[in-house]
Chain A
Amino acid sequence: MSAVPPETCRTEELLAGTIAGLIAGARHVAVGASSPIPAAAALLARERGHGRPHVSLLGSRRQSFFTDGGRELFDCAGQGRIDAFFLSGAQIDGEGNINLVCIGDYTRPKARFPGSFGSAYLYYVVPKVILFRLEHTRRTLVPKVDFISAPGASADNVHRPGGPVALITNRCLFAFDRMRRRFTLASVHPGHTVAEVIDNTGFDFDRSVDAPTTPAPSNDDLRILRAVVAPQLMEVYPKFAAEVFGMKESA
């Protein structure tokens, strides 16, 4: 499994391959709304693991074993039956707080986003939450979010088996330290630099002198993503599958 040169691999594929590595060994991975790259990653991990982890894609009939309505996902998570989940944010800050609601004052916002979805619950109870944001700028990665849809950390007496473990962007991968409530630069994607990451990040983070380069997906992973995962994404993410993998929608 030799690595391929980065120019033959799209950013979406690099991110999916990296996320698949982060969730290796999970028993059950769930993917929420508007999360096509995490969906690709989870399906890739399942293919690599010959059917493990179990994958539940929100909104899918085929990639879901749920039969008890929308609540089953949350009931599973509450019991610890979901090991990994993915969240994004219009804003994400250096303490791992995420904002899916608004910019400016909540009662008179300057901009409004769809809403918090399941974040204000799943962020607390799923052990490995991986944050993802494809726009890595000072506009999105901010010192302090305007609205906390879900906090990165909680007071000691709050039931909190879950929380963030990583943040992946179009430029780099950060790891999150829950005790210190801080991100550390884990790797920089091919074609990007540490200086560029610093310039475009609105919060402080830790870093070693030289951060490694994020490994590109293997040829085998790229083949699985393009040949096996892409068709499976068509049901829930037809637009993404068409744009990234050239899948054609059937009439």
Chain B
Amino acid sequence: MIVRSLDEALAPITDGCVLAVPRDVSGVAMAATRALIRRGVKRLHLVALPTASLQADLLIGAGCVEVIETSAVSLGELGPAPRFTAAVVAGAVRVKDATCPALHAAFQAAEKGVPFMPLRGLIGSDLLAHRPDWKVVDNPFGSDDPIVLIPALRPDVALFHAPLADRDGNVWIGRDRELATMAHAAARTVVTVEKLYDGNLFDDPTLAAGALGGFYLESVAVVPNGAWPLALADHYSADANHIADYARLAATADGFAAYLDRHVHERRAA
């Protein structure tokens, strides 16, 4: 049985681990993120597939992140991510700047068990200039056709939030197939879900088409509303007022500390 309490489920996420998380519309495990901050996780190498938002800003502001690898961190319509911005300017976090398809490619290489994936674009950019781990080769099937190779990225743990899991640890992810890529690429996958599905997701072919096999799962915790204040697509919208309050408070270190006191260190009543 891999269904556990939230804190037990998060045990594989240890200090210093490479932690993969999805973009903000694909199911971000925000309740789990608050639990990690309460536990005081340190020195994370956070990898966003392929962008990050409130989750990364909270973890960076709380001092949990040593390195972030991402194509962007922002609060979308609500503006820049304030603690990320402040930490980069202060030199308190190292950024490995990427571009979205490079992160998708790195995870795809890992899920195939191959050392790298070629990718168009990038040549002549300063992104490439600052990524010594990305290499340019001449296309061996062409001539004078330079192309970038992105090394496989195998996270220690992938963490996301999904609508459903069954008691066998199968998880329903629906259209958000990059969650499957993350799980295939990661050594271990930890998932929070809205609720338990009564039965086996693979018994219904319609559900099975959107499912991820429990084979890939390390642990599952049931956390209703677990993406709040971000959205869980097709289930609930983002809490725009809350995120706007966050953006205002997190503009200063003191305001951010007040936000953590109110919403992270104190468990919410409802």
Is A121's CB under 8 angstroms from B101's CB? yes
Is A115's CB under 8 angstroms from B123's CB? no
List 9 additional contacts besides A101-B127, A148-B125; criterion CB under 8 Å: A59-B25, A70-B178, A117-B71, A117-B99, A147-B126, A151-B124, A157-B145, A159-B147, A237-B77
Q: How large is the interface on A (under 10, 10 to 19, 20 to 34, 35 or more residues)?
A: 35 or more
- For residue B268, CB closer than 8 A to chain A, the reply is no
Please list 22 pairs of residues, one from A and one from B, whose beta carbons are closer than 8 Å in the complex, sorted by A's number: A33-B74, A36-B77, A59-B25, A59-B76, A71-B101, A100-B72, A101-B97, A101-B127, A111-B85, A112-B89, A115-B95, A116-B97, A117-B99, A118-B99, A123-B121, A124-B122, A125-B120, A154-B123, A155-B123, A158-B123, A238-B77, A240-B77
- For residue B38, CB closer than 8 A to chain A, the reply is no
Residue of B74, B81, B126, B233 touching A148 (CB-CB under 8 A): B126
Q: How far is the CA of A157 from the CA of B121 in the complex (A)?
A: 12
Q: How far is the CA of A25 from the CA of B79 in the complex (A)?
A: 33
Is A249's CB under 8 angstroms from B119's CB? no
Instruction: Tell me the A180-207 residues at the B interface (CB within 8 Å).
Output: none
Instruction: Tell me the B51-104 residues at the A interface (CB within 8 Å).
Output: 51, 70-74, 76-78, 80-81, 84-85, 88-89, 91, 95, 97-102, 104
Secondary structure class of chain B's binding surface, majority of residues:
mixed
Show the binding face of B for A, using Cβ within 8 Å: 23, 25-26, 49-51, 70-74, 76-78, 80-81, 84-85, 88-89, 91, 95, 97-102, 104, 108, 119-128, 130, 144-147, 175-181, 233-234, 240
Is A74's CB under 8 angstroms from B124's CB? no
Task: Name which of A14-22, A60-68, A132-140, A171-179 contacts chain B.
Answer: A60-68
Q: How far is the CA of A117 from the CA of B97 in the complex (A)?
A: 9
